[in-house]
With several copies, the nearest count.
Chain A
Amino acid sequence: MSKLIIHLADQEFEVEINSPPDAEGFTSVSVNGEALRVAIAPAASPDATEWAIVDTRPYEVLFDRDMRSVQSIHGRHELRIRDLEAGVARPRSGDGRIKAPIPGIIANVLVELGQNVSVGEPILILEAMKMQNEITAPRAGAITTLNVQPGQTVVLHELLVEIS
C-alpha cells in the first residue's frame, strides 16, 4: 500500500505499510524488513503531542508542522521523509527569500543591495521579545531585494530580503 524512506539522525529506514489498522488499532509495519505493530494517536492537531505504541513500547513524540524534525525524550532529530508511492520528494525550502520568522523591529541591516553573500552569513538583526536575533543567508548569491531599514517594524512572514 505505502512505501516510505525515512531519514532520521543520519540513518535511513525503508518503511512498508500494507494494510489498514487491525481491530485493536495497531498497524502492521515493516521497517528494513523487520515486522512491527504500531498504533498512533488519531489524527489530531499537528501541534499536539502525539502518542504512539510500537509493540509494547509507548512513545510521546512532537513533530514539527512540516515534519522536518521529531522530538522525544530520546532527543531532537532531523527528519526527512520520501514517499516512494507519491514518486517525488517534497520540495525543500531555500529559494533565497528571507521572510520575517517572527514579528519584530529591524535592529540592524548588515548587507547592501547587490552585495554577494555566502550561506550562513549574517544578513540582519531582528529584535523581538527583548532579544536580538541574527538572520543569516539561507543560500549563497547576490542581494537582489532589500526591503527593510533599521528601526522598521515588520510583521510575521513579511518579505525582508531576496538572494538570487
Chain B
Amino acid sequence: MFQKVLIANRGEIAVRIVRACRDLGLATVAVYEPGDMGALHVRLADEAYMLSSPQGYRDPEEMLTVALRSGVDAVHPGYGLISEDPGFKRACATAGITLVGPESEVSAQVRDKVGAIQRVQAAGIATTRPSSRTFDPEEGADLLAEAQQLGYPLVIKSCAGGHGRGTALVYSAEKLLNIAQRSSAQAQAAYRDGRIYLEAAIIPSRYIEVPILGDHHGNIIQLGDQDGSIQRNTRKIISEAPAPNLTPAQREAICNSAVEVARTFGLRGACTIEFVLDGAGNHFFSEVKPRIQVEHLVTEMITHIDVVREQLHIAAGLPLRISQAQVRCDGHAIFCRINAEDPWRGYLPSPGLISAFRLPGGPNVRVDSYAYAGAEVPVRYDSLLAKLVVWGAERGECLQRIQRALQELHIGGIQTNLSLLHMLITHPEFTSGNYTTAFSHLKLNVPTPPDSQLRDLAAIAALTYLSRARTARSTTPAAYTTGWHRDSRRLPQ
C-alpha cells in the first residue's frame, strides 16, 4: 500500500478521497487554488500546496510538480478536471508515481465512445446503435446523411460527457443541425470538447448502470445494478440500487453483460458500465465510465464496500479482497444529488455563504459534502453541494427514510434543489418504481397543500413579515437597504 497520496481535485470528491486515505492510515496531500484556501479538503489534509498557475486544478504540469515536491507515491485525481488527461497519466508513469484510475490505453479506448460500442458489438453483446463516427457540429451535410441512415428519433450525445450536458433528443431532420450546434456548445462549455455523435433513440428507456471493480490479477466483480434514469437540467439527481421492477433473470443478464464488457476492455479499478433498457426489458450497452461516479454511494450502501478504499487497494497492485460470491447486495439504497441552484429560476447556480446547514442523522442515512454552516459555495466550480443516501431493508422503508432525511436537511443562505428533490421522491411515478427517462422531462406542478395548511402558512408569513419589518426598523438604515428589502437580488424572470 502507498504511504502518501496526492488528491488532484477539490470539493466533495476531494474530501471523499481524504476520508478514504485517512481511514486507511495514509498521509494526504491537498492542492488548492487561491479561492479554495480554507476549503474542507485542504483543512483535513496533512499537507497542502497552492496552485498558482491560472489553470489551477486543470494544470497537469503544476500538479506533477506538487506530486514530486511532496514525495507522494500515488495520485488520486477523482473525476473531472485532469482525471483523464492522457499527458498527466504518462507524466506520472514516467515519474514512477501511481495514478489511481485506468491506464492511458484503456482510458483512451473507452473515451472513444463510438469505437467502444463497436468493440462491444464485436464481442457479441447487444449495444445501442451509434453513428459510424463522431462529428464536429460544422459537418452539417454528413450529420444529416448519417441521421437519415440511423432514422429518427435519435439522440445527439457529446463525446466527452455522459448522459449529461450535450445530450438531446431529435425528432426530425429540420431540427437536427440547430440542436447539434447547441449540444456541441454545451459540451464545449462543460467538458472543453465539442465533438458529438448520434445514436438511434430508444423510447421509453431506462438507464441501468453496473459498477464493477477489476484488479491487476484478472479478477473482475460487479456490485449490482442501479437505476440512473432520473435527470434534471442534464444531471442525474436521483439514483437507486437495485433498479426497481427488474426480474432476477434481467438483473443477472445485465450484470453478466457488464462483467463481459469489463473483460473486453481489461478494465481495472472502479468503473461503471452503462446500459439502456428498452420498453420490452432488453438491455443495450451504451458506454463505460472508467472512474468513480458521483452516485457511487448507492453501491457502498448496499454492498458495504468502500469503493474509494478499493480503488487505492487495486492501484497498489493488491488483489481484490472479495470474490463475486462474497459480494452481498443487501437491501435498497436511494441517492439524491443536492445542488446549489434554483430549479424555479432555470437552474441558475447559487453561489454564496451557507448561513445554515443542518444534516439529517439517525440510522442508515449518510451525507457526503464539503459544506457546513459558514462555508462558501464558490462561483467557479460545479454546483454539486452534497450527496445524500439512505439505506433500507426494502424499497418501501427506503422511500420513507429518504423523505424523512430530506425534511431534516436544511440549507440556508443559498438556493438549492431540495424542494425539487422532495417533490420528485414523493411523486407517484417515482414511488411506484415505474419511471423511465421521460420522468426527467415531466413538468412538476407543485401540489397545493390542503386549505388548513395554506391557512397556517399564511398566518406564519404574516407574523414573520411583521417581525422582519420590526427588526429592519430597529436597526440602522444600512441594514434596511442590504437586508431582505434589497431589490438588486431579484433576478430577471
Contact = CB atoms under 8 A, between A and B. Distances in A.
Interface in B403-446: 407, 410, 412-413, 418-419, 422-423, 446
Given A11-B454, A69-B344, A135-B492, A43 B379 contact: no
Interface stretch (B143-151, B308-316, B480-488): B480-488
Interface string B3-21: 0000000000000000000
B460 A129 contact: no
Given A129-B351, A136-B492, A75 B461 contact: no
Contact of A73 (B50, B186, B422, B468): B422
Interface in A10-66: 10-11, 13, 15, 17, 24-25, 27, 29, 31-32, 34, 36, 38-41, 43-54, 56-66
Nearest to B344: A76
Interface string B279-293: 000000000000000
Contacts of B382: 129-130
A163 to B, nearest CB: 9
A79 interface: yes
| Interface bin, chain B | 35 or more
B49 interface: yes
Interface centre among B186, B344, B493 (most CB of A within 10 A): B493
A154 B462 CA distance: 37
A129 B46 CA distance: 28
Interface string B316-349: 0000000000000000000000001100111111
Interface in A119-163: 120, 123, 127-138, 157
A139 to B, nearest CB: 9
| Interface bin, chain A | 35 or more
Nearest to A160: B492
B42 A73 contact: no
Contacts of B349: 102, 128-129, 131, 133
Nearest to A135: B492
A107 interface: yes
Interface string B442-478: 0000111101011111111111111111110000000
Given A24-B34, A93-B490, A83 B465 contact: yes
Contact of B456 (A2, A51, A59): A59
B30 interface: yes
A53 B48 contact: yes
Nearest to A98: B492
B43 A58 contact: yes
Contacts of A31: 455, 458-459
A31 B471 CA distance: 23
Given A39-B37, A53-B42, A102-B350, A70 B461 contact: yes
Contact of B419 (A39, A71, A130): A71
B181 to A, nearest CB: 12
Contact of A103 (B46, B351, B356, B410): B351
Contacts of B34: 24-25
Contact of A130 (B70, B381, B418, B483): B381
Contacts of B447: 74-75
B175 interface: no
Interface centre among A83, A99, A103, A131 (most CB of B within 10 A): A131
A66 B379 contact: no
Contact of B47 (A58, A77, A137): A58
B164 to A, nearest CB: 11
Given A50-B464, A63-B461, A138-B493, A74 B488 contact: no
Nearest to B349: A129
B412 A58 contact: no
A38 B463 contact: yes
15 contacts: A8-B454, A36-B456, A48-B356, A49-B410, A57-B47, A59-B460, A66-B487, A67-B461, A93-B490, A102-B379, A104-B379, A128-B349, A131-B190, A131-B347, A131-B383
Minimum-distance CB pairs A-B, first 9:
A13-B458, A138-B492, A129-B349, A47-B355, A74-B449, A15-B462, A54-B456, A6-B458, A47-B412
Given A76-B446, A107-B189, A129-B381, 13 more contacts: A4-B462, A4-B466, A6-B462, A9-B446, A27-B463, A38-B459, A48-B374, A59-B460, A61-B457, A63-B464, A73-B407, A76-B344, A102-B351
